[in-house]
Copies of this chain bind each other. A is one copy, B any other.
Amino acid sequence: MQPLAICPNAKVAVHCDQCRVRTLSVCGALDHDELLQLDRMSRPLICTARETLFEQDEPAEAVYNITSGSARLYKLLPDGRRQIVGFALPGDFLGLSMAEKNEFSADALTPLTACQFSRTAFSDFLDRSPHLMRRLHEQASHELTMAQDQMVILGRRTAEEKVAAFLIGLRKRWARLSTTSVTIPLPMTRQDIGDFLGLTVETVSRMLTRLAREKVILIVPDGVRLLDVAKIEALAES
C-alpha cells in the first residue's frame, strides 16, 4: 500500500511550501481546496520522549498524523501485563477509527511532532469528502491486515522467527520513509519489542545476540544492520 499523501511533492509528513499545507500523508484524491481546508483545522503537536499522547478508554479527542519521531501503542491488562499493538512511525495516523474512546494508549518513544485534528471537526470534514472517507477505509483495512499478520506471528512462530519478522517488518516501513538505509533504527527498548512479540526482554536479547553471532545481523547503537538479508527473510517468511 502506498503511503497516503496529501501533498504530491512529498512522500511523508513534512511542511510543504508548494502546497502550503503542513498536513501530509493524509490522502490522495483531494483537490486543493479540500487540502487547504483540512490544513486550516490542523494544530501542531510537539512531544518530548516518553510523553503520553492519549490513554486507553479515555474519550478520543483528536486524530493525529505523526510528522517526526515514533510512538508505541499498547494495551494494559489489570495485572500490569502489557501488549504493544503497534509502533507508529512518521506518516502514520492515530485515531482514524473515529471511535468515541481510545482503544489503546500511545506514548512517544522519541521526541515527536504531529499534526492534530479535532476529532469532531475531522469527522465533519469526512462527511463532506467521500474521497477521503474511502481512502481512510483502505487505510483501516490495511491496518487490519497488519494486525492479522501480527496474529500469525504471535500465535504460530518461534522466538527467533518473531524477532526476524519484526526486523523485516520494520525495515519495510522505514524504507518507505527514507533512502533505503542498511541500518534499521530501533527507537524502542528490548522490553517494548518483547511486549510486541509476546516474549520477555531476555529472550529478545538472546535472539538478537544469536542472530548477531551467526552474522545475520549486526547490532549497532539504536538499531540493527542486516548482513544476511536472505537468511533473515527465510526466518521471517510468511
Q: Which residues of A contact B (CB under 8 A)?
A: 75, 77-78, 81-83, 85, 96-99, 103-104, 126-127, 130, 133-134, 136-138, 140-145, 147-152, 154-157, 195-198, 237-238
Decide: A83 near B156, CB < 8 A? Known: A130-B127, A144-B147: yes
**How far does the Cβ of A117 sit from chain B's closest Cβ, in whole Å?**
16
Residue from the list B77, B104, B126, B237 in contact with A156, Cβ < 8 A: B77
Q: Give complex CA distance A148, B75 in Å.
A: 9
Q: Are B145 and A148 in contact (CB under 8 A)?
A: no
Q: Are A140 and B130 in contact (CB under 8 A)?
A: no
**How far does the Cβ of A70 sit from chain B's closest Cβ, in whole Å?**
18
Residue from the list B98, B136, B155 in contact with A154, Cβ < 8 A: B155
**Residues of B with C-beta under 8 A to A97:** 138, 141-142, 144-145
**Residues of B with C-beta under 8 A to A155:** 83, 154, 195-198
**Which residue of chain B has its CB nearest to the CB of A85?**
B148
Decide: A98 near B138, CB < 8 A? Known: A130-B127, A198-B156: yes
Residue from the list B78, B96, B149 in contact with A238, Cβ < 8 A: B78
**Which residue of chain B has its CB nearest to the CB of A78?**
B237
**Residues of B with C-beta under 8 A to A147:** 144, 147-148, 151
Residue from the list B81, B96, B99, B137 in contact with A98, Cβ < 8 A: B137
Most chain B beta-carbon contacts within 10 A, residue among A104, A140, A145: A140
Q: Are B141 and A99 in contact (CB under 8 A)?
A: yes
Q: Give complex CA distance A111, B207 in Å.
A: 45
Q: Closest 6 interchain pairs by CB?
A: A155-B198, A97-B141, A147-B147, A154-B154, A83-B152, A140-B140
| 5 pairs, A vs B, C-beta closer than 8 Å | A83-B155, A85-B148, A85-B151, A133-B137, A150-B151
Q: Are A103 and B136 in contact (CB under 8 A)?
A: no
**Residues of B with C-beta under 8 A to A134:** 126-127, 133
Residue from the list B75, B133, B141 in contact with A96, Cβ < 8 A: B141
